[in-house]
Structure 1
């Protein structure tokens, strides 16, 4: 019987083959300069202050420190997750609290959360089981963090037009993200070439 590591290697191999077969028109041998990605989509500042009363213990003073426990607390406080599924209206309300009056990004993040279920399910299948927690150490779910990571990637590809930088480097980054990654679904891509 195949162990999880072997299954993961096969999954990665199919992903690599998928990169090349689906990337018609995009040069997948030249990954984007990841240091310039932050300038492509001018995202608004996210603030978690609306959740301070429920999740303050995960918001240390000083520099921002994000943790799985903070994400889990915010998702729970906003009732964004129903088991492993996103409650779309509650996700929208959560994003409005985090982003303020930025409708374009609220829509993009909400759509990202809504479209990330398959990616998150796949990641959870292949994630390693954690060892039992040490006494006094809190263990939090990675599910909200996976949704957050996936939605961030989705927003990069679906950045509101007013916040997108139309440059060759940014367009290449978007095409690369859509066509060359094995987890195109998490970025809003599909199995066909973006034209």
Structure 2
């Protein structure tokens, strides 16, 4: 089995679980977890740096193209849209999985064994976030935390697959349909979110809308 196939086998079901989000009540009673704030592009609150370079984008050009339009059937355009998977405040944090997988493979952030490499991610930050040491430090810490979360989630999924044949079959079907492993994009989404939550004051857009979104994300713990 190829490395790509192994990664799909290990992480193909992450997308299904990751996007099914519910929220616990907030410790701060001023935050209502049943009412997510109005959507605003999160990069306007905290400009998390893009980790791609011109060279990487050339190497991964086939994945950098805009996604094709949704298929049109007898009933008109498909009702399903990818963005509907994500709560409004989280849209815009989800990178194209095949592009991120390509970038992480080229930079060896994801090693041949399919595991994240913190040192390689740090080296990537040295190239792409070299002008903001504070941001780079926060992103590196976020990557370490997200790597641990991914490892824990992987173990939980493996346990559920071993105990639930129906779930195992669904995940197997999903892996067969996946164009690439979602693991890199899941990891980068987590890094983006953790970086947003701990965004340096020097770049944070300190206004009511941005503060409301961050309060919601910090107080309403995802389950």
Query: Could you list the per-position Cα deviations for residues 55-103 of structure 1 after superposition, in whole angstroms to 9, with x for gaps in the alignment?
Result: 3433349xxxx63222112111212124454321210112333345332
The alignment status of 1:34 with 2:63, answered yes or no, reads no
Question: Which residue does the alignment assign to 2:192?
Answer: 152
C-alpha distance in 2, partners of 1:49/1:100?
15
Instruction: Flag the 1:87–1:50 CA change in 2: closer, same or farther, 3 A.
Output: same
Q: Give, in angstroms, the shift of residue 105 of structure 1.
A: 2.5
Question: Which residue does the alignment assign to 1:72?
Answer: 101
Question: Which residue does the alignment assign to 2:122?
Answer: 92
Question: Which residue does the alignment assign to 2:63?
Answer: 58
Structure 1, unpaired ranges of 5+ = 184-195
In the superposition, the TM-score normalised over structure 2's length comes to 0.59
Instruction: Flag the 1:151–1:44 CA change in 2: closer, same or farther, 3 A.
Output: closer
The alignment status of 1:23 with 2:67, answered yes or no, reads no
| Equivalent pair of 2:97/2:185 in contact (CA under 8 Å) | yes
More off after superposition, 49-58 vs 111-120: 49-58
Counterparts of 1:123-134 in structure 2, within 5 Å, are 125=157, 128-129=171-172, 130=174, 132=176
Counterparts of 1:136-175 in structure 2, within 5 Å, are 139-175=179-215
- Please give the root-mean-square deviation of Cα atoms over the aligned residues, in Å: 3.3
Larger relative contact order, structure 1 or 2 (CA cutoff 8 Å, min sep 6): 2
C-alpha distance in 2, partners of 1:45/1:74?
11
Question: Which residue does the alignment assign to 1:192?
Answer: none
| Equivalent pair of 1:96/1:102 in contact (CA under 8 Å) | no
More off after superposition, 77-86 vs 106-115: 77-86
